[in-house]
Structure 1
């Protein structure tokens, strides 16, 4: 009986150590994650032409979006890349269409 309890205690300690290690990794990942981009350009299926401009944390932005700086976002919107109708990056950039 004592051996069984010792084995259970050992196993429980390993589980706790593993859970603590995972939590440490998660918090380190959050701390070291680069900041979200302020502006996004969503690229079309062909991989070349931009299809939408977004604010950095837009929930509608697709997986083919890439972060750009303010100048690139402003240039894209003024050169005819449609602004997302949900996040309205043209308003945030000071360009109204």
Structure 2
């Protein structure tokens, strides 16, 4: 025989516990399904063409002047750009004195704090 004490309240709490465990399991399944959808979408997304980062130039007094670093497909970059590698972009922002675009935030992507 079972020597564990019981009461109507205890039975209600045990029932509630089983229901909540079931709900947690359902939520975990929903999370797994959403993660799978996101991974599938990301795998179908076309890769960005062109350089990963660009240095944008402005014309000052007829001479090109380095203005800012952008993520390669940023629409805020000027028409005059130079492709940069990841290391070149990081160096331009940290030691080159060139600002990072405030829209596409290449500094965040590069892990650089300004």
Question: Structure 2-normalised TM-score?
Answer: 0.51
Structure 1 residue 96: Cα displacement: 1.4
Greater strand share, structure number: 2
What is aligned with 1:41? 55
Q: Provide the rounded CA distance (Å) in 2 between the counterparts of 1:64 and 1:93.
A: 22
Structure 1 residue 76: Cα displacement: 0.2
Structure 1 residue 44: Cα displacement: 2.6
- Structure 2 unaligned segments of length 5 or more: list them: 1-48
Question: Structure 1-normalised TM-score?
Answer: 0.60
Partner deviation per Cα, 1:15-55 (whole Å, 9 max, x = no partner): xxxxxxxxxxxxxxxxxxxx3100000123122x3110000
Coordinate RMSD, CA, aligned: 1.0
User: Number of residues paired by the alignment?
Assistant: 62
- Structure 1 unaligned segments of length 5 or more: list them: 1-34
Structure 1's consecutive aligned runs of 4 or more residues displaced over 3 angstroms after TM superposition are none
Flag the structure with larger Rg: 2
Give the secondary structure class of the aligned counterpart of 1:71: helix
How do 1:64-75 residues align onto structure 2 when only pairs under 5 Å count? 64-75=80-91
Give the secondary structure class of the aligned counterpart of 1:40: strand
What is aligned with 1:83? 100
Q: Which of structures 1 and 2 has the larger relative contact order (alpha carbons within 8 angstroms, sep 6+)?
A: 1
Structure 1 residue 65: Cα displacement: 1.1
